[in-house]
Amino acid sequence: MRFLLILSVALNLVPAPVEYTPERARTCFRKATAKLEPWQKQEAYRLTVKGDKVKIEALTKEGRFRAKTTLEQLRAMGKLPQGTILDYPRLRHRGLMIDESRSFKGKDFLKKQIDAMALLKLNVLHLHLDDSAGWRIEIDSYPDLTAKTAFRKGYTYHDWEAGKYQFSTQDDPDAYGGYYTKEDLKEIVQYAKERFITVIPEIEMPGHSMEVGYACPEVLCTLEDGTLCRGAWDLCPGSEATFRLLESVLEEVMDIFPSPFIHIGGDEATMKTWPDCPKCRKRMQEEGFTGVKQLQGYLVRRIEAFLRSHGRRIIGWDEILETGVPDGAVVQSWRGVEGGREASARGYDYIMSPNSHCYYNYYQDLIRKEPRAVGELVSLRFTYGYEPLGEGMSKEHLLGVQANLWTELIPTPEHAEYMLYPRLFALAETAWTPPEKKDYQSFRPRARMLLDVFRARGYNTFDMDTESELALSGFQRFEQLENHKKNGYKD
Ligand code: ACM
Ligand code: ZN
Determine if residue 289 is left, alpha or beta; phi over 0 gives left, psi from -120 to 50 gives alpha, anything else beta. beta
Which residues have a beta carbon within 5 Å of ligand 2, which is an ion?
A: 221, 236, 238, 277, 279-280
Q: Is the CB of 268 under 6 A from ligand 1?
A: yes
* Cα 51 to ligand 2 centre (Å): 70
Choose the catalytic residue: 93, 126, 208, 357: 208
Question: What is the mean pLDDT of each successive set of 10 residues along the chain, which is 491 residues long?
Answer: 46 96 92 97 97 96 98 94 97 98 98 98 99 98 98 95 96 95 98 99 98 98 97 98 98 98 98 98 98 98 98 98 95 97 98 97 92 91 97 97 98 98 98 98 97 98 95 77 61 50
Q: Is 415 a known active-site residue?
A: no
Alpha-carbon distances of 239 from 277, 294, 308, 435, rounded to whole Å: 10, 15, 22, 48
Pocket test for ligand 1, best of 130, 234, 334 (most atoms within 8 A of CB): 334
Q: Is the CB of 362 under 6 A from ligand 1?
A: no
Torsion 392-393-396-402 (CA) sign: negative
Ligand nearest to the CA of 283: 2
Pocket test for ligand 1, best of 353, 357, 406 (most atoms within 8 A of CB): 406
Ligand nearest to the CA of 406: 1
As a whole number of angstroms, the distance between CA 40 and CA 61 comes to 13
As a whole number of angstroms, the distance between CA 265 and CA 320 comes to 9
Determine if residue 477 is left, alpha or beta; phi over 0 gives left, psi from -120 to 50 gives alpha, anything else beta. beta
Nearest alpha-carbon partner for 16 in 83, 70, 55: 70
Ligand nearest to the CA of 280: 2
User: Closest ligand 1 atom, CA of 404?
Assistant: 2
User: Closest ligand 1 atom, CA of 332?
Assistant: 4
Apex CA 327: angle with CA 323 and CA 333, to 5°? 60
Residue nearest to atom 2 of ligand 1 (CA): 334
* Cα 342 to ligand 1 centre (Å): 17
Query: What is residue 485's predicted lDDT score, i.e. its pLDDT?
Result: 62
Domain segments of the chain as ranges: 19-87, 93-485
Ligand nearest to the CA of 402: 1
User: Closest ligand 1 atom, CA of 355?
Assistant: 2
* Cα 272 to ligand 2 centre (Å): 10
Query: What is residue 30's predicted lDDT score, i.e. its pLDDT?
Result: 96
Identify the bridge partners of residue 435 per DSSP, sorted by sequence position. none
Q: Is the CB of 359 under 6 A from ligand 1?
A: no
Q: Is 286 a known active-site residue?
A: no
* Cα 267 to ligand 1 centre (Å): 6
Choose the catalytic residue: 267, 268, 276, 370: 268
Q: Is the CB of 334 under 6 A from ligand 1?
A: yes
Residue nearest to atom 3 of ligand 1 (CA): 267
* Cα 491 to ligand 1 centre (Å): 32
Query: What is residue 461's predicted lDDT score, i.e. its pLDDT?
Result: 98
Nearest alpha-carbon partner for 418 in 451, 375, 445: 451
- Residues 12, 75: contact at Cβ < 8 Å? no
Domain 93-485 listed as CATH 3.20.20.80: yes
* Cα 212 to ligand 2 centre (Å): 14
Rg, C-alpha atoms of the chain: 24
- Residues 191, 111: contact at Cβ < 8 Å? yes
Domain 19-87 listed as CATH 3.20.20.70: no
Q: What are phi and psi of 175, to 5 degrees?
A: -70, 145
